[in-house]
Amino acid sequence: MTTTAPAAEAAAAPDERLAYRGPIQRLLIRPEIGALIGAAVIWVFFWAVTDVFGTTAGVNNYLDVSASLGIMSIAVALLMIGGEFDLSSGAITGATGMLVVLLVKEVGEFGGAGFPLSVAIPLTLIFALIIGWANGTLVEKTALPSFIVTLATFFILRGAKLGFAKLFTDKVIVEGLNDAPDHGFWENVFGAVWIRNDHVWDSFLGGRNVVYGVLLTVGALLLIVGVLELMFQRRETPAQARMPVAVVGFAAGVLGLILLAATDGTSDNWLWGIVLAAGGAVGMYGMGAWRYERRADSSAAVNLTGRVGRNVAMGGGAIALGVVLGLILDAESQTEIGFLLTVQGFRAIAYAGLIITGVILLLGAARSAGKTSARTQLAITSMAAAAIVVVAFIVQSQADSRKFRAEFFAVIIGAAVLMLAFGVLRSTFVERRKPDAVADKRGRTLAMTGIAVAFTGLAVRLMWATTFENETIRGEVRWRIAVFYFIGFAIVASYLLLRTKFGSWTFAVGGNKNAARQVGVPAARTKTILFMIVSAAGWLVGMLIAFRLNSVQANVGDGNEFFYIIAAVVGGNLLTGGYGSVIGASIGAVIMAMSFQGIPFAGWNSDWRFLFVGAILLLAVLVNNYVRAKAEAAS
Amino acid sequence: MKKFRLVALLASLVLVIAACGSDDGDGTSTTAGGDTTATTTSDTVDLNQGSDLTFHMVTHSDDGTFWSVVKKGMEDACTAVGVNCVWSPSFNDPSKQVSDIEAAIAAGSNGIGVSLASPEAVVPAATAAVAAGIPVVTLNSGVNDYQSIGAITHIGQTETAAGNGAGLRFNSLGATKVLCAQQEQGNVGLEERCQGAVETFTGAGGVVTQFVGPDANPEEQINTILAALQADPDINAVFGVGPIVAFRAVEACSQAGRECFIGGVDNSEDVTAAIENGEINFTIDQQQYLQGYATIITLYLNNTNLNTLGGGFPILTGPGFVDTDNIAEIKALVAAGTR
Q: Which of A79-83, B21-25, B228-232, B327-331 has the lowest mean pLDDT?
A: B21-25
Q: Do A606 and B211 touch (CB under 8 A)?
A: yes
Superfamily for domain range B49-157+288-318: Response regulator (3.40.50.2300)
Mean pLDDT of all residues belonging to chain B:
84
Does one domain contain both A424 and A334?
yes
| Residue A55 lies inside a defined structural domain of this protein | yes
Q: Quick one: what percent of chain A has pLDDT higher than 90?
A: 31
| Residue A210 lies inside a defined structural domain of this protein | no
The pLDDT value recorded for residue B50 is 56
| pTM for this entry | 0.81
B220 to chain A, any CB pair closer than 8 A? The answer is yes
Q: Which pLDDT tens digit goes with each residue over A35-75?
A: 888 888 888 888 888 888 888 889 999 999 999 999 999 99
CA distance B177 to chain A (A): 14
**A interface mutation test: which of B211, B219, B247 has the most A CBs within 10 A?**
B219
Give the mean model confidence (pLDDT) for residues B188-216.
Answer: 91
The pLDDT value recorded for residue A364 is 85
Q: Do B219 and A67 touch (CB under 8 A)?
A: yes
Give the mean model confidence (pLDDT) for residues A265-289.
Answer: 82
Q: Do A602 and B231 touch (CB under 8 A)?
A: yes
The pLDDT value recorded for residue B225 is 95
Q: Which pLDDT tens digit goes with each residue over B9-18?
A: 555 544 444 4
Nearest residue of A to residue B182 by CA position?
A: A606
Of the candidates B322, B312, B328, the residue with the CA atom closest to the CA atom of residue B152: B312
Of the candidate CATH numbers 3.40.50.2300, 3.10.580.10, 3.40.50.10480, 1.25.40.10, the domain formed by B159-285 belongs to: 3.40.50.2300
| Residue A464 lies inside a defined structural domain of this protein | no
Q: Which of A5-14, A248-257, A470-479, B99-108 has the highest mean pLDDT?
A: B99-108
For the four alpha carbons of A97, A98, A101 and A104, in that order, the dihedral sign comes to: negative
pLDDT grade for B33, boundaries at 50, 70 and 90: very low
| Residue A113 lies inside a defined structural domain of this protein | yes
Q: Identify which has the larger pLDDT, A338 or B285.
A: B285
Mutual angle of helices A269-291 and A374-398, in 10-degree steps: 160
| Residue A454 lies inside a defined structural domain of this protein | no
Q: Identify which has the larger pLDDT, A329 or A592.
A: A592
Flag whether the ipTM exceeds 0.85: no
**Run of H or E including A407:** none
CB A588 within 8 A of CB A617: no
Q: What are phi and psi of A5, to 5 degrees?
A: -60, -40
For chain A, list residues whose CB is within 8 angstroms of any CB belonging to chain B.
Answer: 50-52, 57-58, 61-62, 64-65, 67-68, 94, 166, 170-173, 175, 474-476, 478, 545, 548-549, 551, 553, 555-560, 596-597, 600-603, 606-607, 609-610
pLDDT at residue A77 is higher than 90: yes
Q: Do B230 and A173 touch (CB under 8 A)?
A: no
pLDDT at residue A12 is higher than 60: no
pLDDT at residue A453 is higher than 80: yes
The pLDDT value recorded for residue A469 is 75
Q: Which residues contact A145 (CB under 8 A, 6 or more apart)?
A: A139
Looking only at the bridges linking them, the beta strands covering A478-480 and A193-195 are antiparallel
Q: Tell me, what CATH number does A493's domain have?
A: 1.10.3470
Radius of gyration from C-alpha coordinates of chain B: 23
B69 to chain A, any CB pair closer than 8 A? The answer is no
pLDDT grade for A533, boundaries at 50, 70 and 90: very high
| Residue where one domain finishes, among candidates A400, A431, A462 | A431
Q: Which pLDDT tens digit goes with each residue over B70-79?
A: 999 999 999 9
| A420 CB-side CA count, 13 A | 21
Output the 3-class SS for A452-471. Answer: HHHHHHHHHHHHCECHHHHH
Name the residue range of residue A95's domain. 31-195+476-634
CB A592 within 8 A of CB B224: no
**B interface mutation test: which of A553, A561, A594, A608 has the most B CBs within 10 A?**
A553
DSSP one-letter code for A233? P
Q: Do A560 and B217 touch (CB under 8 A)?
A: yes
Q: Identify which has the larger pLDDT, A261 or A557.
A: A557
Q: Identify which has the larger pLDDT, A538 or A422.
A: A538
> In the structure, how many helices (H) and strands (E) does chain A have?
25, 4
Give dist(CA A493, CA B97) in Å, integer.
52
DSSP one-letter code for A431? B
pLDDT at residue A450 is higher than 60: yes
Beta bridge partners of A479: A194
Domain count, chain A: 2
Q: Which pLDDT tens digit goes with each residue over A174-232?
A: 888 888 888 889 999 999 998 887 777 766 555 677 788 888 888 988 998 999 888 88
Q: Identify which has the larger pLDDT, A430 or A90.
A: A90
Residue A122: count of CB within 10 angstroms of its CB: 11
Does one domain contain both A400 and A493?
no
Chain B (153-182) residues lying within 8 Å, Cβ to Cβ, of chain A: none
pLDDT at residue A18 is higher than 70: no
Q: Do A171 and B269 touch (CB under 8 A)?
A: yes
In this chain, the answer to whether the domains covering B49-157+288-318 and B159-285 adopt an identical fold is yes
The pLDDT value recorded for residue A186 is 92
Does one domain contain both A95 and A186?
yes
CB A45 within 8 A of CB B217: no
Residues composing chain B: 339
Give the mean model confidence (pLDDT) for residues A149-174.
Answer: 86
pLDDT at residue B19 is higher than 70: no
In chain A, the largest separation of any two C-alpha atoms, in whole Å, equals 90
pLDDT grade for A376, boundaries at 50, 70 and 90: confident
Q: Which pLDDT tens digit goes with each residue over A385-441?
A: 888 888 888 777 777 777 777 778 888 888 888 888 888 888 888 888 888 888 889
pLDDT grade for A625, boundaries at 50, 70 and 90: confident
CB B57 within 8 A of CB B83: no
pLDDT at residue B105 is higher than 50: yes
Does one domain contain both A406 and A486?
no
pLDDT grade for A17, boundaries at 50, 70 and 90: low
Q: Quick one: what percent of chain B has pLDDT higher than 90?
A: 56
| Residue A14 lies inside a defined structural domain of this protein | no
| Residue A228 lies inside a defined structural domain of this protein | no
| Residue where one domain finishes, among candidates A409, A431, A453 | A431
Helix, strand and coil percent figures for chain B, each rounded to 5: 55, 15, 30
The pLDDT value recorded for residue A271 is 82
Mean pLDDT of all residues belonging to chain A:
84
Burial of B271 (0-12, 13-18, 19+ CB in 10 A): buried
Q: Which residues of B25-62 are buried (b: 16+ CB within 10 A; e: fewer)?
A: eeeeeeeebeebbeeebeebbebbeeebbbbbbbbbbb
CB B181 within 8 A of CB B249: yes
Query: Where do the structural domains in chain B lie, given as residue ranges?
Result: 49-157+288-318, 159-285
Give the mean model confidence (pLDDT) for residues A508-522.
Answer: 89
B82 to chain A, any CB pair closer than 8 A? The answer is no
pLDDT at residue B250 is higher than 60: yes
CA-CA distances (angstroms) from residue B120 to B35, B98, B140? 40, 11, 16
The pLDDT value recorded for residue B291 is 94
Does one domain contain both A39 and A147?
yes
pLDDT at residue B277 is higher than 60: yes
CB A72 within 8 A of CB A93: yes
- A244 preceded by cis ω (within 30°)? no
CA distance A365 to chain B (A): 42
B250 to chain A, any CB pair closer than 8 A? The answer is no
Does one domain contain both A526 and A591?
yes
The pLDDT value recorded for residue A7 is 47
| Residue A503 lies inside a defined structural domain of this protein | yes
Give dist(CA B52, CA B46) in Å, integer.
10
SS3 A552: strand
pLDDT at residue A107 is higher than 50: yes
B65 to chain A, any CB pair closer than 8 A? The answer is yes
pLDDT grade for A363, boundaries at 50, 70 and 90: confident
The pLDDT value recorded for residue A418 is 86
The pLDDT value recorded for residue B167 is 95
- Per-residue DSSP letters for B241-287? SSHHHHHHHHHHHHHHT---EEEEES--HHHHHHHHTTSS-EEEE--
The pLDDT value recorded for residue A342 is 74
Q: What are phi and psi of B282, to 5 degrees?
A: -160, 160
**A interface mutation test: which of B217, B241, B245, B250 has the most A CBs within 10 A?**
B217
Give the mean model confidence (pLDDT) for residues A448-474.
Answer: 85
Radius of gyration from C-alpha coordinates of chain A: 27
Looking only at the bridges linking them, the beta strands covering B54-59 and B84-89 are parallel
Q: Identify which has the larger pLDDT, A251 or B11.
A: A251
pLDDT at residue B314 is higher than 70: yes
Give the mean model confidence (pLDDT) for residues B317-328.
Answer: 89
Mutual angle of helices A343-369 and A306-328, in 10-degree steps: 160
pLDDT at residue B265 is higher than 50: yes
